[in-house]
A and B are shown apart, each in its own frame.
Chain A
Amino acid sequence: MSDTVNVSGSLRARLSLTLIGSAAAIAVLLFFVVRTYAAQIAQSGQDNILEASVTSILDAATLRDSGVEVDFPYVAFSMLNTEADDRVFYAIWQDETLLSGYELLPVADAPDGGDIVHVSAQFDGAAVRVATAARILVGANARNRVTVSVAQTQDALAGTLNKISRNVGLIGAGFFALSVLVASWATNTAIRPLERLTHSITRRGPKDLSPVARPVPSEMAPLVTSLNSFMARLDTSLKQSEDFIAEAAHRVRTPLATVRSHAEATLQRVEREDNRQALRSMVRAIDESSRAAGQLLDHAMITFRADHLETEPLDLVDLVEDLVTRLTPVAEMKDIALTVISGGKVSIEADSILLQNALSNLVENALKYAPEESEITLEVFDVPRPRVEVRDEGPGFPPDQMHELAARFSRGENAKDTIGSGLGLTIAQDVATAHGGELTLTNLSEGGACVTFLL
C-alpha cells in the first residue's frame, strides 16, 4: 500500500482565505464608504458656512440714490475663520460690473431667488470652494442684479479629512484584525470534527475495524457512513479469509497425518535404497506441509486472540524452560544443545498460549537454521523490560532484508534449502505487538542470528 495521499489544496487554507479575503474586502469598502460619506458631511459643513456668509453679504445690499451699497457685517468674514487659517476670497457684482472683491474669482451662475450655488474651483494656486447667490434690487428706474460669491480654501477641510481618514483607517484595520481572529476561530471550529475523526481512526489498533460511534456533524455523516460500511466490508472480508485459511489448514492437516503414517509404514517395508530415499523425502515434505498448516492455524488463532488478550500472571523463565523441555527431543535429533540462561524469576502479565506459541516459533526457526552440533541459547532478562533473546550459531539474517523478514510468508534469501512457511517471525512479531512489545532481529558479531523478543 502507498503511504502518500494525493493532496490538492487545504480546506483550512481555503476557508481561512475566503473569510480573511472577504473581511479585507469589506474593510476596504468600509474605509471608502465612510471616508466618502465623511467628506460629503465635511464639505456640506463648509458649504453651510459659506452660504451663511454669502447670505449675510447679499442681505446687506441696498439700493441708494448713489447706487448699490453693500454694508455687510463683520461677521460675514469672521465666521469663515478656521483652525487652518484658510484664505478667503469674495466678489460682489452689480450686473456685469465688479463692485468689490476679487475680479478673477470663478463665479457660478446663480438663480435670482437667492438660492446658493456651490462649486469647487482653483483660484490663485489653491483649491477653493465657492458659494454664489444673486438678488434683484428693484429701484425707481432700474433693476439691478447683485451677485455675491464667497470662496474659501480647503486646508481645514483637508485636515479634517486626513484626521477622519486616519481614524477610519484605524477602525478598518481593527475590524480586519478582529475578522482574522474570528476567521481563524471559525476555521478551527469547522475543521475540528474532521480532526477528531482522523485522530480517533489513527489511534485505533491495527485490527480494529469497528464502526465509528462518535457523533459527527451532518455534513460528515455520508463520509462516516461510507467509511463504516467500507470497514465492515473489510472486516467481513478479512474474517472470511482467515476462516478460510484456518479451515483449509485444518482440513489439510488430518489427511497429511494419515499419508505420513502410511509413508512411514511403507518405509519400514521397502528395502531398495532409492525407494527408501524417495519415501524419506516424501515424509520430509509431508512434515513441512503439516508444519505450515499448523503455523497457519496458529496465526489465525493469534490474530483472533491478539484482539482479545487473556493475560495472567506467569513466570517467563518457567515458560521458557517448559518450552525447552518440550523441544529438546527435536533438538537432539540434530545434536543441538538448547541452553537457558536466567537470573531467577521474571514475573510478567501475558497470554501464556500466545507467548508459548511465539517463542516456540522462534526456537523452531533457530533449530531450522542452526548447523548440527551447535548451541542455541535462550537468555531471559528482567530489566529494563522483560525480554527473551534467542541466539543461534547459524548463518544469521541477510542484512539487506532484515526489515521485511517479519512480513507474512517471507523467508530469508539463505533459507531456500530449509523447510518453513515463513510465518514464524510474523507470528512472534504479532504476539509481541499484541503485548505492547516488539521483535528485533540482529546478527551477532561472532556469527549467528539473535532475535530479541521484547514484552
Chain B
Amino acid sequence: MQISPTRTEKTLPKTSTIIHRIREFTLIGRDPVLFMSLLLSGIFIFVFIVFPLYRSVSGGFISKEGAFDVTYFARYFDDYFGPGLRKAFYDTMLMGLLTATTGTLVGFIFAYAVVRCNIPGKKYIHWLALVPTVSPPFALALSMILLFGRNGLITKKIFGITFIQGMNDVYGLDGLVIVQTITFFSVSYLILRAMLERLNPAIEEAASSLGAGRFHLFRTITLPLLTPGIAASFLLLFVESLADLGNPLFLSGNRTVLSAQIFLAVIGEYNYQKASALSFVLMIPTLVIFLVQRYYVNRRTYISVTGKPAGSIILEKDPIIRWFFNILTYAMIGFILLLYLTIVYGSFSTAWGVDFTPTLRHWEMTLTRGVEAILDTTFLSALATPFAAILGMIIAWLVVRKNFTGKSVLDFTSNLGGAVPGTILGIGFVMAFNKPPLALAIVIYAAMALFFASVVGKTRWEKIIILVVGTATGVALNQVYEPYMYYILGGFYLVVAIYMMITQKVFRKPLVLAVLGIYVMSTNWSVMISKPIADFSRSLERGFWSNAIFQASDHIKVLVQPTPALLAIALVFAGVLLLQNLSRKISRIGIGILTLAVPCALSFVGVPFAMVGGAYIIMGAFIVRSVPASVRSGVAALQQIDPSIEEASNMLGADSQYTFRKVTLPLILPALFAGLVFSFTRHMTSVSAIIFLISAKWRIVTASILSEWEQGGVSIAAAYSTVIIIFVLIAIFVLNLFVNKLFKGRGSVDMSQGF
C-alpha cells in the first residue's frame, strides 16, 4: 500500500510567465510545419495588414517633407475648412446610423418572415436576400439612378416629373440610405435568421404557459434574447455604411461623406497626407465599433450561433401578423428584383432616359474595350482565391486548435484587414509599397532565414554556418547581372535536386526542387513566352479576341514573374518542407547553404516589395479583404470537429502534417470550398481597397464602372455590372454543384458563414 503525500505541503512552485511562454514556443518549434504556418501567417499579416495600416495611419501626421504635421487635423477646428469638414463628418455618422437602423429593420422583417411566418417560396427568398452581397457595390446605386434619377424610368417616363432646383431627388442622404439599406441588409438578415432559428422554442412556450400575452412575450422574451443579434447587426451595418465608397460616389449629390472625401483627396488632389488624415478620422469610429463588437457584444450572446438549430420552431399563428411580414418581404424582394432587372435592361437600352429601344451596341463596346478589365479582374481574382482560402484555413486552424502566446493578436489582425474601410487599406498599400524601406525586407528575410537554418541544421554550428554562408552567398549573387542571377539561382536547385536523386535514391522531393529551379529561371523567359502571344494578338483584327489574347500574354508574365521578395518567401517554406531531416551532415550544410542563398538573393532584388502598379499588390489587397471570411468559415468548421479526432491521429503515429492532410483537411473541405466562393466573390466585387492600386496595365472592372459612369456611359457601366454578377453567380453555382457532388450527405457549404 502506497501512502500518498500529505496535503500540508501544498506550497506551489512559481514558474514565471516568461519561462512558460518560451516553453510554448520551443514546443511549437519542435514541429516545423506548425511553426511554418505560424510564420507564414505572421509574415502575411505583417506585410499586408499591419505595415500598410501603420503607413496609412501615420501618413496623416507626416508632411511631404517628412516633418511631424497635424495641419489636416487642425482644419477640423478652424473657421475656414472647419464647418465643411465637420458637416461631412456629421453626415457620415448620420448616414451610418440611418443605414444601420433601416438595414437591421429590413433584415429582421426578412428573417422573421422566413423563420416564423412560413413564407411561401422560402428558399428563393433566402437566396434573393443574399444577392446584394455578391453584386458589385455600384450596381444598386446605378439602377436607383436609372429608375429614380432625374432622367429615371419611373420619375421621368412614368410620372413625368421634371426636376428643378431645390426639388428632392434621389441624390443626397435619403437616396444613399435607401441604397445602402438594400446593399447591406443581407448581413442583418443572416445574423437574425440564425438567432431566430436557434431560439429554443421551449423558452417562449414557457413564457406563454405562464400567461404572457403575444406582445408581452415578444417584448419581454423574444426581443431581449435577440438583442445581441440586433446589436451585432446594427454595429456591422454602421461600419459597412461608413466604409462604403461606391454608393456615396454615385449618390451623395451635394452632400459628402468621409469615404468619398478620401477618394477625392487621392484621385483629385493626389494628396496622400490629407487622405491619410481623413482616413484616421474614419478609422476611429470603425475601430471602436469593431472592438465593441468583438469584445463586448459577442460575449453577451445568449444563443450560440454556431450550435445546432433547435429541433422545432414556433410559427406565427396570427394570420394578420404573418401576412404583414410576408407582404412586406415580397414587396422588398420585388423592389430588389426590379433594381437588378433595371441594370440588365439598362445595358441594352439605346440611350437611357431618352430612347429605351434595345440594342447590343453597349455590349459590343464592353466586350471589346472592356475585355481587358474583365479578364484582368477575373484572372487576378481567381489567382488570389486559393491563396486567400488556404491562408484562411491555416489561420483558422492555428486559432482554434493551437495554443501560443500572441494567438489573439493573430486572430485580431487577420480580421482587421477586412474590418477597416477599404479606402484606408488602399491608401496604406500605396504608401507602403511605393518605396518600401529596406528594413522591411531585412526583417522578413531574417525571420525566415533563422527558421530555415534551425530546421535544416542539426547542431548549433551547422545552423550558424548555413545561416552565415547562405546569406553571404545570396548577397553576393544579388550583385550579379539579373538574368544571370536567375539562371544561377535556378541552377542551385537543379544541382541540389540531382545530388539528392543520386545520393538518397528518392525522386519525388528532388523532382519538386527541379521544377522550382526551372520556375526561378523562367523569370528570364517570360518575354520569350509572352511576346509571340502578344504579337499574334496584334496580327488579329482589333476586337474581342485580339484584346483577350493580348491580356493572356500579360497574365503569363504574372505567373512566371512574381515579385521576387514574395517568391523568396514561397521558396524558403518550400525548402523547409522538402529539406527537413536530411541525414548526412555534409549534405545538410551544402544543401542548406545553396537553398538559403536563393531566397536571400531574391529577397533583395531591386527595391524589395515595391509593388505599386503591378498585379501582385492588387492580389495582396484582394486577399487581405477576403481572408477574414475564410477564417470565419474555417473556424466554424473546426469548432464542430472534436479535437480528439486529430489527437487520435497523433496517437496513431501521425505527425501534424500527416494529420492535417489526412484528417483535418478532408473534414473541413466544405469550409474550404465556402472560403473559395467567398474569396472569389469578394475579389470580383471589391472597389474601395483596390481603386488606388489599378494601373494602365491592370484594370479592374469595378473601377471601369466608375469611370464609364463619370463619362456618361451609363449603359456600359450597367453591362459591366451585369458581367460581374453573372461571373460571380457562375462561380457560386459551379462550386456548389461540385461540393454537393463531392460531399453527398456530409453537409454542404454554409454560405451564410462568410458574410
Real binding pair: no
